[in-house]
Amino acid sequence: MMTQKSLIQLSKSKINKGKNKQQAFEEVLHESAEEALKIANIIRYIPTLPKRRKFKQFNQTLASLMVVYLLVVITAAITPLESFNWRFYAITLPWTAVYSVIIAGVYQFRGNFYNLSFSMTLFGLPVFIGNELNNGFDFSLYVALALMALILIIGGFLHYRLFPAFEVRKVLVRLPDGSNGLEKRVFFY
């Protein structure tokens, strides 16, 4: 039995050697005694080298848009100094810290951070609008909405392209006793 961390490291090493997901999956499956679905779920969120090269600019654009969105929300939080609201800051400061970590994860092509980026981007809107309701709407709300839409569109596109789902199929195989049987196999696309 391997730990989750060692499985991730082994999977990354296989993919970083230029193997596709199917090849990496087969090799990790043979080298470890783990379940196929556990390994498949790990490998799913590791992009292959050709896909990293192909979508590098999109990924950098997404991370840049997320940084700008973060700055817009922080600016909205700092701007109304005359109406200092502790509740607003109690939500904004932890959100800022978590969103910064998510930006770093997205920039490094870490698959699970793309899922988190969707929810945290959407969570930033009520925080932002809550402040705007107290201080009046201005142009920054529209900028935040446009940035949010771009982040969700580009992030969704990258998630779909970099981390496609795998398929589990039953395949007819020859059993050791000479009869035929069905076996579950994982296939990446």
Q: Are residues 96 and 35 in the same domain?
A: no
Residue 83, Cα to own-chain centre: how many angstroms?
36
Question: By mean pLDDT, which of 14-23, 117-126, 169-178 is the weakest?
Answer: 117-126
Interval 137-176: pLDDT, tens: 667 777 888 899 999 999 999 999 999 999 999 998 888 8
Residue 145's domain spans which residues?
Answer: 65-162
Residue 187 confidence (pLDDT) above 90: yes
Cα gap 80→76, rounded to integer Å: 7
Pair 41, 84 in one domain: no
52 within a domain of the structure (yes/no): no
Q: How confident is the model at residue 132 (pLDDT cuts 50, 70, 90)?
A: low
**Do residue 26 and residue 80 come from a single domain?**
no
**Could you tell me if 76 and 33 lie in one domain?**
no
| Residue 24 within any structural domain of the chain | yes
**Shared-domain flag, residues 152 and 118:** yes
Residue closest to 140 by CA, chosen among 78, 85, 96, 58: 78
Question: Residues 70, 83: one domain?
Answer: yes
Residue at 23 is within a domain: yes
Q: What does the pLDDT look like over 35-61, one tens digit per residue? A: 999 999 999 999 999 999 999 999 999
Give domain status of residue 60, yes or no: no
Q: What is the DSSP string of 44-102?
A: HTS--HHHHHHTHHHHHHHHHHHHHHHHHHHHHHHS-GGG--HHHHHHHHHHHHHHHHH
Residue 55 lies in a domain: no
The one-letter amino acid at 150: L
